[in-house]
Structure 1
């Protein structure tokens, strides 16, 4: 472990919610050389620039957390951006890692890779067994391509490129855009503004019936580092050559209505909750089967209400930094 602490570890997407959490986790564990490059220094959409960066730095491991992400509205509005940007980012980074002889890489995907009506909880082998949720299909296809890129480099070149598929994430450094954010930051902002304006009602998109699983980003970072640190024999014993990704989640879910009620409690909102059923619900349920990850020795530790409280405190303290 002491030798590994001196390795050069590149975290792609370090300014995002997941990337910044991975950086915090690595630094807390004592890693001495965590490499980060902002968009002003390295444009991950530029293949030549990415290859030059890898050639310049002697990188030992890569955490590929960079991605274009957003909620239902953003996915519906910008499908071309979501598929193109994500395909280019992951292709450029994975190919550059291989070209620079980086043996180990961790690709971060998304639970949206699974079919809309996948059997719940969703096992890893549900991949490519059915139709995807239409609202985020372009993003999901890009993430599936990332998994297959890793598998293909492993098969053809003997690389050790791993993939983890997180459930819905939330926490510090999330995107709080009023339209383009995911459900938790969108609701935290909406309830916060309702409290500030002394509003009597908050309207939530959809029926409130869909069930979702949520994981605090610090748990996601801990799981990512845990999976990356596993020796090859242990990792391979719990995966298959054509099924190399691992689900990351809590194994528990709640309805959107229950989520909204918890956020109302965390933010101190005392008014009425209304649900606009004319807005899309998305998949009826998305719960991850995390038995494979638990067999590898890791499980989530942050309770949803505690995690929401942490996320809300960050939002209030960094209100001017939260993306609008």
Structure 2
């Protein structure tokens, strides 16, 4: 079957059914010799997932980089799956960016992410991938969702306009995973991480998210001796932040302990204002100047805190405190200044 034809399909029954323990949770360790494809393995999330899987004893972590395989190219993706035959897929590849990038380039955020997802999910189904984890984003939930946000809030209200294109693409991925489960009986799952940070983050001056943006801005101000730093918005929105290494642990935990169609939130269950975050970053960086705010710039969603009770009920909890994670991330940033790792 070629990549342009209808997707046909593997038998609905999986070779090794998930076992359900007395506590109601799924328990089935993944074979450490299984061939695992982490799509987006050089990104913030993908690289962390690969590091964790190696530490956990996985020996066959393959897959091309984005330079070697453009996941937006359907025929190329199907050809790669036909040759590589992965057993497990973690779909972490995506076009991502901060509030400015999402607001000014919605076409790319919608089109690129839809093509990446549909191509990988269709090819995985075509070639019988039994275990798959699709990674979405907390931006899928309505702008004014009740806090903390439960998974059931999905599709219950309008999205935040500054990132609605990206959110719609991720919602589509969730629904495709659910459709595969219903139609073919495969134990594919979806996880919705909160705001992420850590080693390997994108520190591009125009396209990065809020936390790496603050790190870069305060560091450059410290180095230049600037008397003040101006940040976007009012500083009043509240956000939750999860270290990417904690997300990586959650990904494996979900693959081995979860088998339901609904998405699972992944976060810390605590938040702080952007103003508080900026002060924390200022302290970690060691900047001594003043901090100002530009309320003419957008704030985005007022609050976005995830209800993580579904995940914690499965026996998972975050381990890395925010200040500890910030210090580690800042050290990585300084160590990699002037290198391709920062993706200038």
TM-score (ref. length: structure 2): 0.90
Alignment RMSD, CA only?
1.1
Match of 1:194 among 208, 221, 234: 221
Given that 2:229 and 2:289 are in contact with CA atoms closer than 8 Å, whether structure 1 keeps it comes out as yes
**Aligned residue pairs: how many?**
315
Task: Give 3-state SS (helix, strand or coil) of 1:6's partner.
Answer: coil
Shift of 1:19: 0.2
Alignment of 1:234-253 (within 5 A): 235-236=258-259, 239=260, 241=261, 244-253=262-271
Q: 1:145 and 1:39 mapped to 2: Cα distance?
A: 22
Matched, 1:157 2:208: no
Name stretches of at least 5 consecutive residues in structure 1 with no aligned partner.
none
Distance 1:2 1:115, change over 3 A: closer
- Give CA-to-partner distance per residue, 1:250-304, whole Å, 9 cap, x none: 0000000000000000000011110111100000000000000000110111100
Q: Which runs of 5+ in 2 are unaligned?
A: 1-27
- Residue 260 of structure 1: aligned partner: 278
* Counterparts of residues 80-229 of structure 1 (less than 5 Å): 80-229=107-256
Q: Alpha carbons of 1:217 and 1:146: their partners in 2 closer, same or farther (altered >3 Å)?
A: same
Q: Could you tell me how far apart the structure 2 residues matched to 1:271 and 1:32 are? A: 48
SS at match of 1:202: strand
Q: Distance in 2 between matches of 1:115 and 1:2?
A: 35
Q: Is 2:140–2:168's contact at 8 Å kept on the other side of the alignment?
A: yes
| Compared CA separation, residues 3 and 152, structure 1 to 2 (3 A) | closer
**Higher mean C-alpha deviation, range 133-142 or range 169-178:** 169-178
CA distance in 2, matches of 1:146, 1:2: 25
For 2:99, which of 54, 72, 81 is the aligned residue?
Answer: 72
1:133 and 1:173 mapped to 2: Cα distance? 27
The two structures have a TM-score, normalised by structure 1, of 0.96
Contact 2:71 2:116 in 1 (8 A): yes
SS at match of 1:141: helix
2:304 alignment counterpart: 286
SS in 1 for 2:32: helix
Q: Paired residue for 1:6?
A: 33
Paired with 1:78 and 1:128, the residues of 2 have a C-alpha distance of: 23
Q: What is the distance in 1 between the residues matched to 2:141 and 2:195? A: 13
Deviation at 1:3, TM superposition (A): 7.1
The whole-number CA distance in structure 2 between the counterparts of 1:35 and 1:152 is: 27
Superposed displacement of residue 323, structure 1 = 1.4
Residue pair 2:34, 2:87 contacting (<8 A) in 1 also = yes
> How many Å separate the matches in 2 of 1:176 and 1:46?
27
2:69 to 39, 42, 45: 42
User: Deviation per CA, 1:95-118, whole angstroms, max 9, x where unpaired?
Assistant: 100000001100000000000000
